[in-house]
Amino acid sequence: MKIGKFAEKHGVTQDTVRFYLEKGLLVSKKKGGQYSFTEADSRDLEKIIELKQLDFSIAEIERILVIQRISGSSTDVFRNLYLPFLETKKKEVLSELNKYNNMKEYLDERIQEIRVQDLKKGQSLGFPMSSLGLLVCPLCKRALNISAGIIEKSSIMDAIIDCECGFRAKIENGVYIDEKAVRTKLLNNKKMPTKEEYLEECAHSYVNFLYQGMATMIEYINQNSKSPKYIMELDNCVGFFLLQYIKYLPRNTTYILIEYDRERLDKLKRNLEMYYEHTSFIFLCCDYHMLPIADSSIDIIVDHGMTKVYMEEKGEFLPEVLKDLLKEEGGYIAAHQYSNDVDKGLKPLRGAKDILARENFLNEFTESGFRTIDTVDIGPVYETDEKKQKPSIEQFKLISKASKQ
């Protein structure tokens, strides 16, 4: 019987048969330059397949076959030497069964926890009554009038907001909304992807790079701010930083989130209501230059890459736009991504004064009236888009901690 028929008979590939011949598990001889397989070879291959199904290694199978070939398969010698192999394998299987049973119990518990969470009603997050003094008209900076309010557990869920200067806004389902600002967020002229869609496209090394930057920012906050009253997050993906920081978020801290895309903000709000216990948030559906927040009221501004996005969209340095919101002793913690693209022949990234360059970024802080306290570089990470044949870009993240001078 030739190798093709032999492999087909036993349901294996010809390459598998050649591998067993090479390892000495099969000992067929060649005739006329071709292997010719016998019934004895069939019995050997059946034994090999049986032992492989029991998860014996190639070395163990070779040892068992050698014992069989020396002593025969129906002798005391073979049984006495083969039995320890089976007993050892049985112990391994029992150990694995115990391990997988423990894993199954753990997985059952985690699955049940998640399913129970999904069944929970969750809390209702609204605009905290205790933060009403924070609200001012973004146009004239006077106190805003609030009427027709619906209040639940010390939070405003619905209300009409207006100012004597003519400004109008509202609180709806706990979210402050400037209706003139509401629009869909776009990325490259397409609707911004969800986290699920982003994960499908993004390299894991880049996600880890972003995470490392957030971890450094969190460390700064934990070391330097024991009980901030207000933290404001600036992030192109609303809540991206929060969902890493929330485990450290002080109970009495009010966390401010800003996003002009109502759908994305509502999705984050539902997530926080369902799966987290922190109760003090302010959700602002508006633009950065129209924030209804009083000057000198924010303890910490966390800028996770938003300066770059804002510069590209508006041509303005975002810390300069928001600096008056910080308390005198407040801190501005920024993560700034930049590329070492000069040596790679790439065109400079756009932005006034090439603001995405590392030194220009730090200089802009100084020119805007900030005192840089500390900086740290994280990276690099390399990105290559082979489908679009883009050159690789070496990207760094600069974490800068600054305060008002």
* pLDDT tens profile 188-226: 888 988 888 887 877 788 888 889 999 999 999 998 877
Domain boundaries, the chain: 3-91, 127-404
Task: Show the beta-strand stretches assigned E in 29-123.
Answer: 30-31, 34-35
Q: Is the Cα torsion angle 241, 246, 249, 255 positive or negative in sign?
A: positive
| pLDDT at site 356 | 64
d(CA 152, CA 125): 9
Strand 168-172 and strand 155-162: the pairing is antiparallel
The residue with tokens 């924030």 is 291
179 half-sphere exposure, CB direction, 13 A CA radius: 9
d(CA 64, CA 59): 9
Q: What is the DSSP string of 75-104?
A: SHHHHHHHHHHHHHHHHHHHHHHHHHHHHH
The 10s digit of each residue's pLDDT in 229-261 is 999 999 999 999 999 999 999 999 999 999 999
DSSP 142: P
CATH class of 127-404: alpha beta
Q: Assign 347 a pLDDT band (cuts: 50, 70, 90).
A: very low
Q: What is the pTM for the complete model shown?
A: 0.75
How does 361-389 read in b/e, with b if 16+ C-beta sit within 10 Å? bbebbeebebeeeebeebbebebeeeeee
Q: Which CATH number fits domain 3-91: 3.65.10.10, 1.10.1660.10, 3.40.1030.10, 3.40.50.970?
A: 1.10.1660.10
Q: Count, in order, helices (H) and strands (E) of the chain.
A: 12, 16
Residues in the chain, overall count: 405
The 10s digit of each residue's pLDDT in 102-137 is 999 999 999 888 887 766 667 899 999 999 999 999
Amino acid in position 14: Q
Least confidently predicted of 28-42, 260-274, 315-329: 28-42
| pLDDT at site 351 | 41
d(CA 190, CA 173): 28
Q: Assign 289 a pLDDT band (cuts: 50, 70, 90).
A: very high
Mean pLDDT of 37-53: 92
The residue with tokens 């020119």 is 367
d(CA 331, CA 3): 75
Task: Count other C-beta atoms under 10 Å from residue 310's C-beta.
Answer: 23
| pLDDT at site 302 | 96
d(CA 208, CA 189): 26
Q: Assign 352 a pLDDT band (cuts: 50, 70, 90).
A: very low
Q: Hey, is 127 helix, strand or coil?
A: strand
Q: Assign 355 a pLDDT band (cuts: 50, 70, 90).
A: low
d(CA 278, CA 276): 6
Kindly state the percentage of the chain with pLDDT values over 70.
90
Mean pLDDT of 44-68: 92
Q: Nearest CA to 405 among 367, 369, 375?
A: 369
| pLDDT at site 392 | 44
d(CA 235, CA 301): 11
d(CA 194, CA 184): 13
Q: Assign 386 a pLDDT band (cuts: 50, 70, 90).
A: very low
| pLDDT at site 240 | 94
Look over the chain and give the mean of its residue pLDDT values, rounded to a whole number: 87
Kindly state the percentage of the chain with pLDDT values over 90.
59
> Is 50 exceeded by the pLDDT of residue 345?
no
The residue with tokens 């992030």 is 235
